Amino acid sequence: MDIDENKINSINKCISPVYEDGIEDILSKYNITATTDLAQSVQDSEISFICVGTPPNPDGSQDMGYIKSAAKDLSNALHSTVTRNYVPLDIGKNMPYGHTVVVKSTVVPGTTENIVIPALEEHGKKAGKDFGVCMNPEFLKEGTAVADFMNPDRIVIGEYNKESGDVLAELYKDFKCPILRTDLKTAEMIKYASNAFLATKISFMNEIGNICKALGIDVYDVARGMGYDGRIGNKFLNAGIGFGGSCFPKDVNALVAKSKDIGYEPEILEHVLKLNDEQPLRIVSLLKKHIPTLKGSTVGVLGLSFKPDTDDIRESRAIPIVNALLKEGASIKAYDPKAMDNFRKLFPQVGYVAPEDVLSSDAVLILTEWKEFDELDYKGKTVIDGRRIIRAKKEADVYEGICW
Ligand code: UDX
């Protein structure tokens, strides 16, 4: 169920409103239907997942508007519909509730208890008595969302009471991964701690990379040597121009805001964000080593999405970089396999061209590690690489890696 009719119509035609590998096969294979009628969807189902966005307020804290209104609408629907009191199909005969509401959105600890449940109870029905409540964080990554969802490392079930948790345990019983059952706010915190840890890992490697660069050491060799240590692990050690996307920056900011709210100064997390703000601008400083005056020059940009295999440019590191280049008076020619339309809305003054055209610029910046960038011809070019494209490293006439 969604309030956006365009999305509903598109899903009902098996066309995904977002670009995501494998999603359209699922839409057609499982005959998934979408509606704008919440009461009907509650009536026809046993579980509602709240998956609305939690955008940031200007101070970094979470805007709870969508969560609150989804919970209020659900309260209305729960009140006005006679939900099932048994479940006929494969979900188990002993379903404790006619309906269970599950918070899937990433929300700061305490939200389900203090905001969602009171809103759900607004029309008199009680959590734990008339309906179940769970908090079930999602750990999927964009671009590999379907595969990540189907093969999770773990499933976390935050439960209001045991009966609520039993509903989700039943739903997920065929997944072959550890299933952890916790209280609501622990589940909420597991999601934040996981994202904050991964963001910290990236900023940490960027810091090591900045030190390596100054010492003439290749940080990717260092990362390889570190990754064999089972306590460290070899994933998320790629130094570069920092993390973007709809989750890491927003979630770390929200955790910082929440910590401050309760009187704790989260120094590590604040530095993770500070480093991530500064890191993309280092590529502009490196460029200026080769072209001291950018005014009047043409800079090529390869990659605009926040990571490969997505058209998403939210918090993409390309945004502060393009802003800085424009401020310096450079003209920009850019290419991205998927994200040019989205980027054009923010930066109509940039020229969107074919990759070969980008390569004809005075210098080229690589900002996203799309696979196809490994097939371009970098001979004779000046390349400043923010993401480690091996062919560019091998072939370019003048080559600088941001941390290597
Ligand atoms: C992230 C989490 O991985 C996922 O568990 C959570 O549910 C949502 O947020 P996502 O934002 O889709 O997923 O992308 P991810 O692949 O984690 O990358 C985030 C950013 O970190 C990208 O900008 C990427 O380029 C950057 N990154 C990632 C690095 O700079 N180095 C790395 O080693 C890994």
| CA gap 2, 214 in Å, rounded | 51
Element holding 48 (H helix, E strand): strand 47-50
| CA gap 268, 3 in Å, rounded | 39
Residues 273-297: what's their mean pLDDT? 97
pLDDT for 94: 62
Looking from the CA of residue 245, the nearest atom of ligand 1 is 11
Element holding 392 (H helix, E strand): helix 390-395
Same domain, 168 and 225: no
* pLDDT tens string 42-85: 988 899 999 999 999 999 899 999 999 999 999 999 988 765 55
Same domain, 326 and 273: no
Ligand 1 contact, 202 CB (< 6 A): yes
Same domain, 128 and 201: no
Domain span holding position 219: 192-278
pLDDT for 44: 87
pLDDT for 369: 97
Q: Is pLDDT at 378 greater than 70 in this prediction?
A: yes
pLDDT for 251: 95
Asked about 247 being catalytic, the answer comes back as yes
Same domain, 47 and 105: yes
Sheet holding 179-182, edge to edge: 47-50, 100-103, 132-135, 155-159, 179-182
Same domain, 143 and 208: no
pLDDT band at 284 (very low <50, low <70, confident <90, very high): very high
pLDDT for 80: 84
* Structural domains in the chain (count): 3
In a domain, 21, yes or no: no
Q: 3-class SS at 61?
A: coil
Same domain, 212 and 159: no
Ligand 1 contact, 238 CB (< 6 A): yes
Looking from the CA of residue 141, the nearest atom of ligand 1 is 12
In a domain, 309, yes or no: yes
Same domain, 268 and 288: no
Same domain, 151 and 248: no
In a domain, 28, yes or no: no
In a domain, 31, yes or no: no
pLDDT for 89: 43
Ligand 1 contact, 149 CB (< 6 A): no
pLDDT for 193: 98
Residues 316-332: what's their mean pLDDT? 98
pLDDT for 18: 85
**Exactly one of 134, 212, 247, 403 is catalytic; which is it?**
247
Contact, 342 vs 312, CB < 8 A?
yes
Out of 250, 278, 306, pick the residue that ends a domain.
Answer: 278
Q: Is pLDDT at 40 greater than 80 in this prediction?
A: yes
In a domain, 69, yes or no: yes
CATH label of the domain that carries residue 176: 3.40.50.720
Q: Is pLDDT at 20 greater than 90 in this prediction?
A: no
Element holding 399 (H helix, E strand): strand 398-401
Report which of 167, 129, 155 is spatially closest to residue 46, judged by C-alpha positions: 167
Ligand 1 contact, 220 CB (< 6 A): no
Same domain, 91 and 171: yes
Q: Is pLDDT at 323 greater than 60 in this prediction?
A: yes
In a domain, 288, yes or no: yes
pLDDT for 88: 45
Same domain, 346 and 362: yes
Average pLDDT of the residues of the chain? 94
Percent of the residues in the chain that have a pLDDT greater than 90, as a whole number: 90
Looking from the CA of residue 139, the nearest atom of ligand 1 is 7
Same domain, 306 and 330: yes
Q: Which residues pair with 401 in a beta bridge?
A: 385
In a domain, 7, yes or no: no
Same domain, 170 and 244: no
- Cα–ligand 1 centroid distance for 243 (angstroms): 6
pLDDT for 98: 87
Out of 278, 305, 325, pick the residue that ends a domain.
Answer: 278
CB crowding 329-362: b at 16 or more within 10 Å, else e: ebbbbbbbbbbbebbeeebeebebbebeebbebb
Ligand 1 contact, 245 CB (< 6 A): yes
CATH label of the domain that carries residue 260: 1.10.1040.10
Out of 182, 203, 232, pick the residue that ends a domain.
Answer: 182
